Amino acid sequence: MDTLVSPLQPNQGSIVQKQWRAWTKWEKILFRFAFIFIFLLIIPVTIDWYAKAISSKTIFAFLNNLTGYRPNFYNLQTPSGRWGIGSYATWGVAFVAAIIGAFIWTLIARKSKRTNYNTLYYWLRVAVRYRIAIGIIAFGFLKLYPMQMPDPSISNLDTNFGDYNTYKIYWQIVGVSIWYEIVLGLVEIVAGVLLFFRGTVAIGAVLVAGVLYNIAHANFAYDGGVHVYSSFFVLLSLFLLIQYLPNLWRLLILRQEVTPNYYYPPLKTKKQRSVFYSTKYAFVIVFTIIFAYLRYDVHYHVGQLKEPITPGLPGAAGYYNVTAFKLNGKELPFNPLDSIRWQSVVLEKWSTLVYQVHKPFSISLANGTPNPKDIDRSYELAGIAGGRRFLYYTIDYKTQSLVLQDKNRPAKEEDGPGKKKPAKDKKKKEQKLVWHFERAGNNRIILSGLNEHKDSLYVILDKVDRKFASKLDRSEIKFNK
């Protein structure tokens, strides 16, 4: 017989004996299927995940690995496998496994006298609640700070609309609408916190389902690549809401009086209550207060961002016309169809130089995962076409030189889950370019040196005062490495 702690006397630990109804045959079968299916989606079952968790070098890395877990049983190496319905292949594997598992479970339980799975159902709901909570809270802090969709860089603002990949258009719009991103993050955090508490689960689940559904279909529309993970939270939220549907039907449709009375296991002893509540509030504190601090620290103190943080040439950030361009001593006149002569140059606040030329370059389709090194931070060039070449540079003030490296590197690109990355050739060093720079006044920079083909370059850049509709200036933020 299942028991229920009286909601009228929760602090006294009184136990009200109640006989819960027996589940029907099909209710048991559906639960067995749901239990296995959801278990496979929310509990890591691969050795690699546990190896990564154990090898985490910081508390933040461990928590981030935990909150961001995504099941990955199978990947279709097709466009649909990345952007379309084929990307849900892992769900399909879990679905088939759940059917087989439920069939075997049913065969084994044929002679069992168990009348229901109330206790197991309760703990499954708890696992789902906490999985959604820690995942959506982690999602929320990325937007609250905000780091998931940064304010567009100068080169991005200078990009023609038609040269944007669709997902980058969406992300840049949100990045410009900085307060929209912050409020959206706050809503996600609040929704996650509500799921920690049994009395507010329904409200939290509705919030998560509504917000994440919007994100999921936006990622479908713009090929954002986060549609599966967003749909994952929607699916789990709908599972939580199933319990409330009968009472909602009676209350809202049949207009009958409803007294909610849901099963939860009794806490019979003081020790049980102490363990239960200490574990619960440890989760709440770790994934709200502590994780919030660690996320802030890793971004604003450590400086692990999607955008570079190393300052560029002092006072040089902006858009430049290429007034003169000489190749091997021969001046090339401006020609928008020239594949060699630069059309324009952008110097970012950070150490990135971008020049535009009539020539195709490989386009990164990554979302720009934060990386420890500026050279690996690809968000500024991800989803951007139009013949732009992004160069990371360091400054040698003694020789008045820039040491540059190409950021358009396929080997560094995050090509999506399951995508094999090209193996690195340790013997092959990445080519570095060394260009001398001269500051001729406040608005003119002269560059000279050799390009990747060993041809000599002499370039005169004149700054143009261009205003862009950028909302956020992070140039004043100080990072402590």
Residues 106 and 159 in one domain: yes
Q: Which residue has the higher pLDDT, 389 or 113?
A: 389
Report in angstroms the alpha-carbon separations of 431 from 409, 428, 451, 471.
Answer: 11, 9, 10, 36
Amino acid 18: pLDDT? 62
Residues 327 and 237 in one domain: no
Residue 98 DSSP label: H
Is the pLDDT score of 259 beyond 80? yes
Q: How far is the C-alpha of 5 from the C-alpha of 3, rounded, in Å? A: 7
Place of tokens 């919007």: 214
Residues 430 and 359 in one domain: yes
Is the pLDDT score of 389 beyond 60? yes
Whether 474 maps to a domain, the answer reads no
Whether 209 maps to a domain, the answer reads yes
Residues 171 and 62 in one domain: yes
Domain boundary among 301, 336, 356: 301
Mean pLDDT is lowest, of 83-87, 105-109, 474-478, for 474-478
Amino acid 414: pLDDT? 45
Amino acid 441: pLDDT? 85
Whether 311 maps to a domain, the answer reads no
Mean pLDDT is lowest, of 158-172, 338-352, 365-379, for 365-379
Residue 253 DSSP label: I
> Is the distance from CB of 306 to CB of 149 less than 8 angstroms?
no
Place of tokens 């239990």: 35
Task: Give 279-315 pLDDT, tens digit per residue.
Answer: 999 999 999 999 999 999 988 888 888 889 899 999 9
Whether 479 maps to a domain, the answer reads no
Whether 31 maps to a domain, the answer reads yes
Amino acid 401: pLDDT? 95
Q: How far is the C-alpha of 1 from the C-alpha of 299, rounded, in Å? A: 52
Residue 373 lies in domain: 318-464
Residues 6+ apart with CB under 8 A from 162: none
Mean pLDDT is lowest, of 55-69, 264-278, 467-481, for 467-481
Kind plus residue range of the DSSP H or E element containing 125: helix 118-144
Residues 70 and 209 in one domain: yes
Q: pTM of the predicted model, to two decimals?
A: 0.84
Is the pLDDT score of 7 beyond 80? no
Is the pLDDT score of 97 beyond 50? yes
Amino acid 287: pLDDT? 94
Assigned token pair, 462: 């004149």
Residues 343 and 379 in one domain: yes
Whether 480 maps to a domain, the answer reads no
Amino acid 470: pLDDT? 54
Residues 74 and 220 in one domain: yes
Q: DSSP string of 148-175? A: SSPPPPHHHHTS-GGGB-HHHHHHHHHH
Residues 79 and 218 in one domain: yes
Pairing of strands 444-450, 15-17: unpaired
Residues 263 and 338 in one domain: no
CATH number reported for the structural domain that contains residue 385 in this entry: 2.40.128
Q: How far is the C-alpha of 367 from the C-alpha of 383, rounded, in Å? A: 9
Mean pLDDT is lowest, of 91-105, 197-211, 216-230, for 216-230
Amino acid 413: pLDDT? 42
How confident is the model over 159-176, as a mean pLDDT? Answer: 88
Helices (H), 263-415: 270-285, 291-296
Is the pLDDT score of 10 beyond 60? no
SS3 258: coil
Amino acid 268: pLDDT? 86
Q: DSSP string of 16-31? A: EE--PPPPPHHHHHHH
Residues 106 and 240 in one domain: yes
Residues 235 and 277 in one domain: yes
Helices (H), 245-308: 245-248, 270-285, 291-296
Whether 179 maps to a domain, the answer reads yes
pLDDT band at 250 (very low <50, low <70, confident <90, very high): very high
Is the pLDDT score of 75 beyond 60? yes
pLDDT band at 410 (very low <50, low <70, confident <90, very high): low
> Per the structure, how many domains does the chain have?
2
How confident is the model over 252-279, as a mean pLDDT? Answer: 90
Assigned token pair, 376: 């690996």
Residues 156 and 204 in one domain: yes
* Averaged pLDDT of the chain: 87
Amino acid 178: pLDDT? 87
Task: Give 417-461 pLDDT, tens digit per residue.
Answer: 444 444 444 445 668 999 999 998 889 999 999 999 999 999 999
How confident is the model over 267-284, as a mean pLDDT? Answer: 91
Task: Give 185-219 pLDDT, tens digit per residue.
Answer: 999 999 999 999 999 999 999 999 999 999 998 98
Assigned token pair, 40: 């496979």
Whether 87 maps to a domain, the answer reads yes
